[in-house]
Every structure is written in structure tokens, then in C-alpha cells.
Amino acid sequence: MIVTAPNRATGIVGARGFIGSYLSRYVASRTTDKLRLLTRNTEGFEGVITAEVMNGDLMFRSDCERFAGDLKLIYYLAHKNSPIDSDLDMPNDALVNLVPLLNLLQTIESLKTVPHLVYFSSGGGIYKRKKKLIPYGETDSCEPSSSYGIQKLAAEQYLRLAADKGYLTATVLRVGNAYGSPHSEFRRQGLIGVATSSVLKGNPVRIFGNPSNVRDYIHLEDISDVAVRAGKFNESFNVFNVGSGVGHSVLDVVRTIGECRGEPVQIVSNSDLGGRLTDWVVLDITKARAAFAWTPTIDLRSGISRMLSERAE
């Protein structure tokens, strides 16, 4: 069920990130509600003209209170590390990813504002590997193969607990592999963004792990569309897969980039890193389609072509 909640303030945690920066602009262009963007470092942050940019750190309760005080809707995207490097320092991985969220949840409980929180989890990092190549549904077993996935799954459970206690409502989006523009040239996570950057610079594409690994790639515009719809969802707690519902191997992606570019792409493989990554993840998005009256509109080839055009300008 979709409902409208007028006159609310919206906050975004992780607004400087890859998905967060796109979502911030998307939300701002579609609402007149007050919008607050939280970032730990405002230096060089362009933000959104119509939004309030708040310098703060959720490691501190005082900053949690300043951020969340009047918010009725919160998008939570902040996360450090990736599936490839999260295991290198697992105590720190838990500290920087779980503790800020728990501080925010404890603050919300004390404020008694009962906001709705949309949490960006992982569609590719939490499910248990299975032999049959059938798209993963939300009720499939979860067994993360990295600290990254463990932190995401733990966050989901803390949100479920908070919703059960009644001091917030929450929608979890298990997002597939996001891609789109802008993609920082310094960002090393995200195959399509990193690969297009390399190609446009005339460099070979470096591949980590098995080039036959299959993932479900979803464009930032489709992610932002479903996120806005999820922000209006009237339910205590629920979990939804967000992807295209279609799988593509790493080699498929690289070939598509070459075809859109009109020239072959040189590949350099590094199987030492990413060897423990799940080899096949495609998401069943039936539940999200039905609940949000949503469907992804940008297929892989169109999305890659758009990226190449935007970044060549």
C-alpha cells in the first residue's frame, strides 16, 4: 500500500556516496519538503541547492539529535568498505558501520518522533549460495560470505527490532549492483563505473575474481525511483529486492561497453582478489513490483550507452 505523508522533513545519511548523491538530487527535484543531507566532511561537497547540508558524525549522539530531531523520513545509505576489503579489519568494519546506525536508532527512540527509515542493504552480499541458478527471493536463506554482508544483515535485524518496539517503521531495500553517473574516478567499487572510466582513459579494464561471475545490475535512476516510493510505504517493517531481475556476467558487461564504445576492451584479470565472492546473484523483484507499482526502465545496454555519452561530454 502506498500512502502520502505531507509536510514532512526528509534526511539522507550518506549523501556524498555514489547512490546517495544521485538520490539527493532525485528527491530534491520531486518534492518541496525540507531536505537535510548529513555528511562528516562538507569540504568540496556540492550538495543540492535546495537542501540543508549538515556537518555531523553519527558516532556522536549530539549529532544524531541535531540530524534526526524533526525528520519523518530518513534514507540511510552510509557504509564504509566493500565485499572485497571488509574482512581485512573486521572489528573496525563493525565499528564504522553498525555503531553509527545504532546511535541513530537509540536517538530516535528517545526523541519519540517515529520516523520511517529506508535502509539500503545488499542484494548481492547477504544471500546464501545455492546450486540452482534461480533468482533470489527475500525469503531465501541469508549467509553472507564477507564482513560487508554481515554488517548489512545485522543492520536489517536491528531495524526489525526497532520496528517491533514501535519507535520507527522501516523498509529495507536489498539493492543489486548499482551503476550510473556520476561515478568518481577515484571510486574503485562498481564494475561498470570503474570499467567505463578505464575505457575512456584508454586503459585496460582490471577484473577481480572470476570474469564469469554473474550479477544483477540496476541503474541509479531506477534505484532512486523505487526509493522514493519506499519512502511512502505504510508498513511497520518489510524487505524488498531491488534489481533488474536479469543477470549479466563480468565478461558480458565488458563486451557491452566495448560494443557501445565501438572498439574492443582490453582486460587484465586479478583472481587473487575477490576469490570468495559469490559467483551468481540475480534478484527476484516480484515483491517490489507489486508493492510499489514499480518496474525498472533502463536496461544494461541503454544504461551503459548513457554513461559513456555523459562522461565523454
94-147, pLDDT tens digit by residue? 999 999 999 999 999 999 999 999 999 999 999 999 989 999 999 999 999 999
Which grid coordinates are listed for 44? 568540496
* Per-residue confidence (pLDDT) for residue 3, from 0 to 100: 35
Residue 250 confidence (pLDDT) above 70: yes
Which grid coordinates are listed for 212? 564469469
DSSP secondary structure code for residue 24 in this structure: H
Residue 5 confidence (pLDDT) above 80: no
The model's pTM is 0.94
Q: Which helix (H) or strand (E) holds 104?
A: helix 90-111
63-84, pLDDT tens digit by residue? 999 999 999 999 999 999 998 8
C-alpha separations of 142 from 86, 139, 152, 209, 216 in Å:
18, 9, 11, 22, 17
CATH of the domain spanning 9-179+218-243, picked from 3.40.50.150, 3.40.50.720, 3.30.70.260, 3.40.50.460:
3.40.50.720
CA pseudo-torsion sign 211, 216, 222, 227? negative
Q: Mean pLDDT score of the chain, rounded to an integer?
A: 92
Residue 87's nearest CA partner among 128, 157, 145 is: 145
7-45, pLDDT tens digit by residue? 579 999 999 999 999 999 999 999 888 999 999 888 878
